[in-house]
Amino acid sequence: MDMACFPLLILLLLSSPCQSNDQLKQGNPLSPGDLLISEGGDFALGFFSPDASNKSLYIGIWYHNIPEPQRKVIWVANRDSPVTSPSSAKLSVTKNPELVLSDSQGSPLWATKNDAASGGARAFAVLRSTGNFVLQLPNGTEVWQSFDHPTDTILPGMKVLLSSKAQGATRFFAWKDLNDPSIGNLYGGVDPNSNLQFLIWNGTAPYCRTTVFNDITQSSSTYHSNGTSVLYQELVYIGNELYYMYYVSTGSPYTRVTLDYTGKMKLVSWNSNMSSWAVITESPGSHCDTYAACGPFGYCDHTSGGVPTCQCIDGFERVDEHNITRGCQRKEVLECRKGNHFVTLPGMKVPDKFLRISNTSFDQCAYMCNQNCLCVAYAYANISDATGSMIDTSRCLVWTGDLVDMGKSDVEENLYLRLADSPGKQKKKKAQERMMQEYLSSMDGVVDKNIEFPFISFEDIILATDNFSDSNILGKGGFGKVYKGMLEGTNEVAIKRLGKGSGQGTDEFRNEVVLIVKLQHKNLVKLLGCCIHEDERLLIYEYLPNKSLDYFLFDSARKSMLQWTTRSKIIQGVARGIMYLHQDSRLTIIHRDIKASNILLDKEMSPKISDFGMARIFCSDQHQANTNRVVGTYGYMSPEYAMEGAFSVKSDTYSFGVLLLEIVSGLKISSPHRITDFPNLIVYAWNSWKDRKTEDLVDLSVKENCPLDEVSRCIHIGLLCVQDSPDCRPLMAEVVSMLENKTIQLPTPTCPVYFASRDAETGRDGNSRFRLMACGATRTLRRFAPTGCQRSAPTASADRRLRNP
Ligand SMILES: *[C@@H]1O[C@H](CO)[C@@H](O)[C@H](O)[C@H]1NC(C)=O
Ligand SMILES: *[C@@H]1O[C@H](CO)[C@@H](O)[C@H](O)[C@H]1NC(C)=O
Ligand SMILES: *[C@@H]1O[C@H](CO)[C@@H](O)[C@H](O)[C@H]1NC(C)=O
Ligand SMILES: *[C@@H]1O[C@H](CO)[C@@H](O)[C@H](O)[C@H]1NC(C)=O
Ligand SMILES: *[C@@H]1O[C@H](CO)[C@@H](O)[C@H](O)[C@H]1NC(C)=O
Ligand SMILES: *[C@@H]1O[C@H](CO)[C@@H](O)[C@H](O)[C@H]1NC(C)=O
Ligand SMILES: *[C@@H]1O[C@H](CO)[C@@H](O)[C@H](O)[C@H]1NC(C)=O
Ligand SMILES: *[C@@H]1O[C@H](CO)[C@@H](O)[C@H](O)[C@H]1NC(C)=O
Ligand SMILES: *[C@@H]1O[C@H](CO)[C@@H](O)[C@H](O)[C@H]1NC(C)=O
Ligand SMILES: *[C@@H]1O[C@H](CO)[C@@H](O)[C@H](O)[C@H]1NC(C)=O
Ligand SMILES: *[C@@H]1O[C@H](CO)[C@@H](O)[C@H](O)[C@H]1NC(C)=O
């Protein structure tokens, strides 16, 4: 024999004798009893009946080498339309080309769809050694393949399109029952909301959920079945399409992933020694792994080594010891604030119901969650993308509601959870709060002792103001400094820090807290809370963006921003605010320090009276009080108060009159040098009015665009308020009426009195004395006898009890 022919002979022997039976050709359909066997003999395709007692027939693919009852059908064509009369059923390749299953009547029970391919004259179907049944053209073009239409099983090498923009998500439907391949309630697939996790549903309810995909473009793991095998998995984003694929190392036994009729997704491997399928992994692995089994804020713990059990995440405790599904609740109530801390929970299967924030770095992700009070937790991953086709590889997940369906194992994923302050800090806060309550209730006076008052902790104030950083200072005064701050995540507040340790600061603090907490009026600044910490006294107010009246009024450039309509609105608002203090609130309150810098402006430039540190409460039968400590601001102080310490609601009327004249003129009471020919603003106003030249007084920056009669009326009212005798001055209720009702006749003002602070002398009792000036003439008087003054007609709302008979 010619040695050269020998190899050729072997080739012929290998290829020639066996009639190929892995192909289905046109004109040669498959009937019940016929089989296609894949090359190598691993898989078979044919008609089968899952239940011996039921003659229904299905076309399926199964492991050819595995005997019943372990043989497993891995694909079914006509799962919802079984052949019931087997006699003439057949599966054929048509010329379209299509695969068609027809019964005795010749009507199709099942068919592949072919919209694209043509030239099917010699098309055929082949069962490949991978278990893929492929309809193809002679030149190799694949028209259809079973791997693109999986039923309940994923085989190695099967490239599964999990989701795509065009086709939606692929679903794996479990058999309805052990012996019933029809579509059941249980199915698996990618979560269509996120494309980031795999879920098993029971009907519409989630039944089991995988971890959220993070870094697994490729991963490998080993498993033991019949020997050691390696499993390679791939999750690939290609454009908008997400694919899953796995392989096993060569020589590995049969391996498959199947969603079985009990709802378990299993990776199993054939163990020929044991003649059984060995379960390598399954999901859910235990009851604890089923969806939300541990309730809100609970997780299934796989780290103990034993049977997984439900646990509560850090900072949480069981709602109900006897019913795990009720989940967990916070040990410390979470009050959202900038200083909340986040704890890192490692090894987490992160919860469901997340929101993905696109295109973010880890820091941005953390920051966004921190800044939003609704954000309970976040997790971040950088999805590695070997193909480079993913537009956004950042995976920032945030949660705003209950955290459900968590697990803990050895996965590489951290969950960052928002927790309330530490217990130590909470305790400290409670102590501070109690101290505050005791402090307030120890105070005497007419104030309600059971005062409910929002207490804000010193730590939160430190955070809100960046530890009282200079860049947050809004203003300074004798009392201390005012800072801008951010409390509770988003609210801007103004924080007044009273002079440390000074007795005066403490008095002012008391006053302010007890007074203003009870007051509610749109023209009074709102107190939001307070804080006592060691020798610190802090008051927290609503933040008003437009600073105070003096900031605009006495600045040559900014005063033009206050046109007459705004000034008129401010005058009326301040008058209403003082009227409320005097008679509309439950108490009669004398502010004692009405002045331009204490009038704050909101974003609509409406006035809000602030600073109640010097205010005094009058009981209902009290009209006047005397004090040895004259406090207030020179220029705005009424003569009887500056001279004798006597104050009443009429001292506020006087201060308001001065303020009104300032607003009209844009001149400061305390800087007389700016007025030529007159010692001060009051005398100037009086003389203008007397000489019927009130327009001279009007601020040049509003003069052009204002109704002079209205301005003139305002000046007239201002002069009534600064009259020498308190009895002659109108009540604020009357002032409000006069301002708002132009038909009210104004009485004629008497000559005002002012005092010259520069000539102040100190008397024997330590109090300052002033030389009083009246209409330019010097008088030294202890007390003015009421000179004749014209009373305005009392208004209906005027409070008579405050008027001397
Ligand atoms: C056989 O199975 C099919 C599909 O599950 C079912 O519709 C039919 O009623 C069954 N027939 C018998 C005789 O059990
Ligand atoms: C295969 O044949 C079909 C039909 O003739 C044709 O449309 C297709 O382009 C061919 N494909 C290749 C790869 O030759
Ligand atoms: C299977 O049997 C072979 C030989 O009998 C043995 O070497 C091997 O360890 C067995 N494998 C398993 C997984 O039991
Ligand atoms: C099982 O393992 C044995 C020994 O390692 C090997 O001979 C046999 O081929 C394996 N069976 C399968 C199905 O891989
Ligand atoms: C699926 O839901 C049905 C109806 O609610 C229930 O009877 C069945 O037990 C559920 N299946 C699983 C696997 O939980
Ligand atoms: C446990 O709690 C769940 C959810 O609140 C409730 O549906 C269930 O009936 C409770 N089970 C028992 C035994 O109380
Ligand atoms: C992502 O953010 C970067 C910088 O923050 C920006 O340049 C880029 O355009 C963003 N990409 C998308 C898709 O939004
Ligand atoms: C994410 O991956 C990109 C590219 O690999 C890298 O530049 C970036 O630093 C990563 N970011 C994080 C937070 O790991
Ligand atoms: C705040 O500043 C003070 C002094 O300026 C410093 O002693 C203190 O440690 C700071 N506190 C914090 C929380 O930074
Ligand atoms: C007042 O504040 C609002 C809001 O900050 C602002 O839009 C407006 O310009 C301010 N008005 C003046 C006069 O500054
Ligand atoms: C304005 O005052 C007049 C005169 O005192 C009075 O008759 C009228 O009712 C008042 N108008 C309003 C709206 O209060």
Could you tell me if 528 and 389 lie in one domain? Answer: no
Residue partners of 263: CB distance under 8 A and separation at least 6: 174, 186, 200, 202, 207, 208, 284
- The alpha carbon torsion through 783, 787, 790, 795 (nearest 10 deg) reads 30
Q: How far is CA 617 from the centre of its chain?
A: 42
- Per-residue confidence (pLDDT) for residue 785, from 0 to 100: 36
Neighbouring residues of 27: CB distance < 8 A, sequence distance ≥ 6: none
CB 277 within 8 A of CB 271: yes
**Any idea what the CATH number is for the domain that residue 487 is in?**
3.30.200.20
* pLDDT tens digits, one per residue of 165-188: 877 788 999 999 999 999 999 999
Which residue minimizes the CA distance to atom 12 of ligand 4?
253
From 178, 200, 202, 207, mutation site for ligand 5 pocket: most ligand atoms within 8 A of C-beta = 202
Whether residues 228 and 267 fall in one domain:
yes
Please state which of the ranges 384-388, 458-462, 695-699, 749-753 shows the lowest mean pLDDT. Answer: 384-388
Asked if residue 292 belongs to a domain, the reply is: no
Dist CA 119 CA 734 (whole Å): 101
The mean pLDDT value of the chain amounts to 82
210-219, 312-321, 641-650, 682-691: which range is least confident on average?
A: 210-219
Which residue type is seen at 466? Answer: D
Contact 174, 264 (CB under 8 A): no
Evaluate if residue 608 carries a pLDDT over 90: yes
Q: Of the given ranges (644-653, 657-666, 675-684, 712-721), which has the lowest mean pLDDT?
A: 675-684
Read off the DSSP letter of residue 694. Answer: G
| Same domain (yes/no): 306, 352 | yes
Peptide bond into 97 cis (omega under 30): yes
| Residue 479, domain member (yes or no) | yes
Pocket residues for ligand 6 (CB within 6 Å)?
323, 325-326
Domain count, the chain: 5
Residue 619 lies in a domain: yes
Q: With the C-alpha atoms ordered 56, 58, 62, 64, is the resulting torsion angle positive or negative?
A: positive
Q: Where are the beta strands (DSSP E) in 23-89?
A: 23-25, 35-37, 43-48, 58-63, 73-76
Could you read off the pLDDT of 511-565 as tens digits, one per residue? Answer: 777 777 778 899 999 888 888 888 788 888 889 989 899 999 999 999 999 999 9
138: cis peptide before it, omega within 30°? no
pLDDT value of residue 103: 85
Distance CA 229, CA 271 (A): 12
3 state SS of 249: coil
State which of 519, 542, 565 marks the end of a domain. Answer: 542
593 as an active site residue: the answer is yes
Ligand nearest to the CA of 792: 11
pLDDT at 2 over 50: no
Report the range out of 128-137, 463-472, 766-775 with the highest average pLDDT.
Answer: 128-137
| pLDDT score at 383 | 82
- Are 209 and 128 in the same domain? no
Give dist(CA 5, CA 641) in Å, integer: 133
Distance CA 625, CA 627 (A): 7
CATH number for position 710: 1.10.510.10
Q: What is the pLDDT of residues 452-480, one digit of tens each?
A: 567 788 888 888 888 999 999 988 876 77
176 lines ligand 5 (CB under 6 A): no
286-295, 562-571, 642-651, 655-664: segment of lowest average pLDDT? 642-651
Residues 122 and 170 in one domain: no
Q: What is the pLDDT of residue 789?
A: 61
Asked if pLDDT for residue 623 goes beyond 90, the answer is no
pLDDT given for residue 790 in this prediction: 58
Instruction: Place 299 in a pLDDT band, splitting at 50, 70 and 90.
Output: very high
Cα(525)–Cα(548) distance, integer angstroms? 12
Question: What DSSP string runs through 414-429?
Answer: -EEEEE---HHHHHHH
In this structure, is residue 802 part of a structural domain? no
92 lies in the same domain as 229: no
Domain's final residue, options 100, 123, 149: 149
Q: Which of 240, 357, 358, 359 to mutate to test the pocket of ligand 7 (most atoms within 8 A of CB)?
A: 359
In a domain, 786, yes or no: no
Choosing from 221, 255, 285, the residue where a domain stops is 285
| Residue 463 in contact with ligand 9 by CB distance below 6 A | no
Same domain, 19 and 145: yes
The answer to whether the CB of 407 falls within 8 A of the CB of 381 is no
Whether residues 704 and 612 share a domain: the answer is yes
481 is in which domain, residue-wise?
A: 423-542
> Has residue 787 been placed in a domain?
no
| Burial class of 460 by CB neighbour count within 10 A (0 to 12, 13 to 18, 19+) | buried
Q: What is the C-alpha separation between 44 and 22, in angstroms, rounded? A: 8
- Do 401 and 280 lie in one domain? The reply is no
Question: How far, in Å, is the centroid of ligand 2 from the Cα of 113?
Answer: 18
- Residue with the smallest CA separation from ligand 5 atom 5 is 202
pLDDT at position 10, please? 33
The reported pLDDT for the residue numbered 777 is: 40
Backbone φ and ψ of 637, nearest 5°:
-80, 135
Confidence of residue 11 (pLDDT cuts 50, 70, 90): very low
Report which of residues 362 and 96 the model is more confident about.
Answer: 362
Domain CATH code at residue 221 = 2.90.10
Task: Round to whole Å and give the CA distance between 171 and 767.
Answer: 91
What is the model's pLDDT at position 804?
Answer: 30
Give the residue, 216 or 161, on which the prediction is more confident: 161
For range 126-141, the mean pLDDT: 93
Q: In this structure, which residue's CA is closest to atom 2 in ligand 7?
A: 359
What are the tens digits of pLDDT across the range 48-77? 998 877 788 999 999 999 988 888 999 999
Considering the domain architecture, whether residues 191 and 307 belong to the same structural domain is answered as no
More confident residue, 218 or 571: 571
* Rounded Cα–Cα distance for residues 455 and 146 (Å): 68
Q: Ligand 9, atom 2: nearest CA belongs to which residue?
A: 467
Other Cβ atoms less than 10 A from the Cβ of 239: the count is: 11
Q: Which range is least confidently modeled, 210-224, 510-524, 725-739?
A: 210-224
Q: Is residue 783 part of a domain?
A: no
Q: Are residues 180 and 259 in the same domain?
A: yes
Statement to judge: residues 621 and 745 lie in one domain: yes
Q: Active site residue: 593, 611, 652, 799, which one?
A: 593
Cis peptide before 69 (omega within 30 of 0): yes
The secondary structure element, H or E, covering residue 652 is: helix 649-665
Residues 6+ apart with CB under 8 A from 274: none
